Amino acid sequence: MSLLGELYGPFFDGHNWLTVIESGQDWLIILSLVLIECLLSVDNAIVLAAQTRVLPTLKEQEESLFYGIWGSYLFRFLIIGIGTFLINFWEIKVLGAIYLMYLSYRFFKNQLTGQHHRRQRKSRAAGLTGRKRFWAVVAQIEFIDIVFSIDSVLASLAVSSNPVIVLIGGCIGIACMRGVAEIIMRLMRKIPELEPMAYVLIFLIAIKLFLTIPMIDIEIPSGQFGIFIVGVFIATFIVHFIRNPKGKGEQPQVKEDDNDDRSHR
């Protein structure tokens, strides 16, 4: 109990919260932590947006992100308390990297065998009976957040040792990251080329994550990787508009999903 009090006591200290809220300097630190969280969460947003695509309707995709964000807040609270021990959890990174590689492999295998669109139609026909698939996606979102939170929490604790400041910055950053994931998710529905591009990036993200384990210890700067991701997105948009000069995308599918949503209400 004394260890729990030492790890999580600052979260329940009202004076600590009041000091942070009233301090302009602490809010500047929180702003810097939000920026760090957003930079480190670009990878996460891409993976989440790709994961939600297995759900048949836009409503379910947005709902899975909604449930996922609350799980992320709870996990972030727990993980900040034991942040000093996270450096020993490199096994989670290995499992996460393997899992992301598997996601990429499964997607392209289904594309080559022609199973991807059949699986989407089957999901769409299942309607409300597909809640098991929905909760499986939510669970995947939580697992992915655990994997990617390690770097974010460690980077934040390096900036500030006050767990309340780290928690506030992390929670604001999570909300921003989920917003980015939703934007990417919507773009994927309009620009089909973004989905295979996302799974190529997921494979590269898995390699990037694996390289950070202590035995290898190669860190690719988040800023440089973020610029690379932006470049890949721009290239994908260019390819799309070359292939579809009149702006034809997946608009009919969005309307179909909207009709599905209305029928479920």
What's the CA dihedral at 134, 176, 105, 93 to 10 degrees? -100
The average pLDDT across 14-32 equals 84
At 1 the pLDDT is: 59
Decide if pLDDT at 38 tops 90.
Answer: no
For the stretch 127-175, pLDDT in tens is 435 678 888 888 888 888 877 777 777 777 767 778 888 888 888 888 8
Per-residue pLDDT at 151: 72
The answer to the question of residue 248 being in a domain is yes
Q: Render pLDDT for 226-243 as a digit per residue (tens, 0 to 9).
A: 788 888 989 999 999 998
Stated length of the chain:
265
In a domain, 137, yes or no: yes
Mean pLDDT, rounded, for 106-121: 69
Look at residue 141 in the predicted model and tell me its pLDDT: 84
Range of the domain at 43: 14-257
Number of domains in the chain: 1
pLDDT bucket at 85, cuts 50 / 70 / 90? low
4 belongs to a structural domain: no
Q: In the chain, what percentage of residues exceed pLDDT 90? A: 7
Instruction: Report pLDDT for 48.
Output: 84
Q: What is the CA radius of gyration of the chain?
A: 20
Residue 264 belongs to some domain of the structure:
no
Q: What is the pLDDT of residue 189?
A: 83
Structural domain includes residue 263: no
pTM of the model: 0.69
Predicted pLDDT at 203:
92
Report the sign of the C-alpha dihedral through residues 71, 3, 87, 83, in that order: positive
